[in-house]
């Protein structure tokens, strides 16, 4: 059976691909940073999550209705991809534990980062949050997004985002209370 060649891209398809390429160039670092925070500080996994999110977004572009900004829509795809990857990693880890299989230690811990002690503590504290709390905390406090944009990204009511944010902040303060006199109750 002869190999088929892909149909040539129309001018419109080429323009869309070019514009999306520009979008990727301008959002790549931000996407990897957000993915890194959502997956708990694993460099390789964050790169994979961001790359897969860009690919899924590109494939879904024909279905993008423009109801939201392209970046808002894309970051929704990225958050979903991070959740999916984290869930798969947790499932793999549970199976490995169940069958007493040793995995690659580097993939199970955070990769080398500038201040490993502090970064690891923050990463571990983030992983103590529920998925919803972690997503909201990262998007608002670490990425600087507003509650309304976060609500739009996660398709949640702003009140729900605020509730998750409040609970996340309380848990983070409790987990990291020894790092700061403010978190440790400076009113002694």
Higher-confidence residue: 179 or 33?
33
Categorize the per-residue pLDDT at 123 as very low, low, confident or very high, splitting at 50, 70 and 90. confident
The chain-wide mean pLDDT, for the chain, equals 78
Give the whole-number percent of the chain exceeding pLDDT 70.
76
Altogether, the residues listed in the chain come to a count of 188
Any idea where the domains of the chain sit in the sequence?
A: 15-112, 113-188
Q: What is the mean pLDDT of residues 114-128?
A: 76
Burial of residue 66 (number of CB atoms within 10 Å: 0-12, 13-18, 19+)? exposed
Closest CA to 138 of 37, 6, 21: 37
Q: Is 122 a residue whose pLDDT tops 90?
A: no
End-to-end CA distance of the chain: 80
Whole-number CA gyration radius for the chain: 20
- pLDDT beyond 90 at 25: yes
pLDDT at 4: 52
pLDDT at residue 14, as a whole number: 76
| pLDDT at site 108 | 40
User: Is 1.10.10.10 the CATH number for 113-188?
Assistant: yes
Q: What is the pLDDT of residue 117?
A: 73
Each residue's pLDDT tens digit, 40-68: 888 889 999 999 999 999 988 888 887 88
On whether the pTM is more than 0.75, the answer is no
* CA-closest candidate to residue 154, choices 170, 173, 138, 171: 138
Task: Please report which confidence band the pLDDT of residue 188 belongs to, taking 50, 70 and 90 as the band edges.
Answer: very low
Q: What is the pLDDT of residues 72-104, one digit of tens each?
A: 899 999 999 998 888 777 766 655 565 454 454
Indicate the class that CATH gives domain 15-112.
mainly alpha
């Amino acid at each position: 059976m002869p190999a088929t060649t892909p149909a040539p891209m129309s001018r419109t398809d080429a323009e869309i691909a070019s514009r999306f390429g520009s979008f990727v160039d301008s959002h790549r670092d931000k996407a990897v940073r957000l993915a890194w925070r959502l997956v708990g500080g694993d460099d390789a996994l964050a790169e994979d999550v961001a790359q897969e999110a860009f690919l899924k977004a590109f494939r879904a572009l024909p279905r993008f209705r423009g109801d939201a900004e392209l970046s808002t829509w894309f970051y929704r795809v990225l958050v979903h991809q991070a959740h999916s990857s984290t869930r798969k990693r947790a499932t793999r880890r549970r199976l490995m534990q169940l069958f007493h299989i040793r995995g690659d230690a580097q993939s199970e811990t955070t990769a080398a980062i500038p201040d490993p002690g502090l970064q690891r503590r923050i990463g571990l504290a983030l992983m103590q949050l529920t998925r919803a709390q972690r997503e909201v905390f990262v998007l608002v406090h670490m990425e600087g997004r507003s509650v309304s944009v976060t609500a739009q990204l996660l398709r949640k009511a702003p009140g729900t985002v605020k509730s998750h944010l409040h609970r996340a902040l309380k848990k983070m303060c409790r987990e990291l209370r020894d790092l700061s006199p403010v978190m440790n109750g400076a009113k002694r």
